[in-house]
Amino acid sequence: MESLYVIKIGGNIVDNPALLTACLQSFAKVKGQAILVHGGGKLATSIADSMGVQQTMVDGRRITDEATLKIVTMVYAGYINKNIVAQLQAEGVNAIGLSGVDGNLILAHKRVHATIDYGWVGDIDMVNTDLLLQLLSKNSKLVIAPITHDGKGQLLNTNADTIAQSLATALALKYQVHLIYGFEKEGVLKDVNDSNSVVAQIDKQLYKKLKEEKIIFEGMIPKIDNAFSALEHGVQSVIIGKAEKMDELINGTAGTTITL
């Protein structure tokens, strides 16, 4: 079975032109099939601030009101997505930029939560696997922005970590899928100030312990929750590490490996 790499890069990479360029140069060298899912970074927040639209985060997730939805759609599915595609084209990669709305790629519903109104935040219902397979069969590398829709005309802001996991899971029957979460650090760190304190491997028992000790918190929690879900649904491997070290992450010689 052919390998497929689903690689998610975080906002801190998107925000830093030098890191982003290094990451995309590394991504361009990935042999075979690959999908890049990107987060939003601080650009949406800075534009929202300049417009006087207050931003609220809960457990690393953005509350998305009507005004914020317009901003994140413009920034994520517009500028950031096309900037990444343009840079990959410059690296000789035939990249196609999409959001979850295009080609009915990702269908979602507005999140329902007992105590928190997340606004126009989407939880995923369906991934259009047929479309992904068609595009991948043409040897295109795909760049996916974290905007989805509900099939009734409503746009939704969806967590990019969850999108990466959902795409990986949807394609696990057709490919040997390897899910990589690339961000600005070497991996999951025992000490956030010590880049040499990488936790090489995390299983569910250790994950629970690290959460209790507040070593893992905020935005890392949905990342690792999604990693376990991916492994439970047929994804071959999940690694979290430094985005520019894509070659080493693919080889399993860097980062934090998540295991069941």
CATH number of the domain to which 80 belongs: 3.40.1160.10
Confidence at 60, pLDDT banded by 50, 70, 90:
low
Cβ atoms 239, 249 nearer than 8 A? yes
User: Which residues form the domain of 64?
Assistant: 3-258
Tokens of 157: 């802001």
Task: Give the contacts of 208 (CB within 8 A, at least 6 positions apart).
Answer: none
Confidence at 144, pLDDT banded by 50, 70, 90:
very high
**Number of domains composing the chain:** 1
CB atoms within 10 A of CB 253: 11
What average pLDDT is seen over the chain?
94
What confidence tens digit (pLDDT) does each residue in 36-46 have?
999 987 899 99
The one-letter code for the residue type at 131 is: L
Q: What is the pTM of this model?
A: 0.94
The DSSP call for residue 77 is I
pLDDT at 62 over 90: no
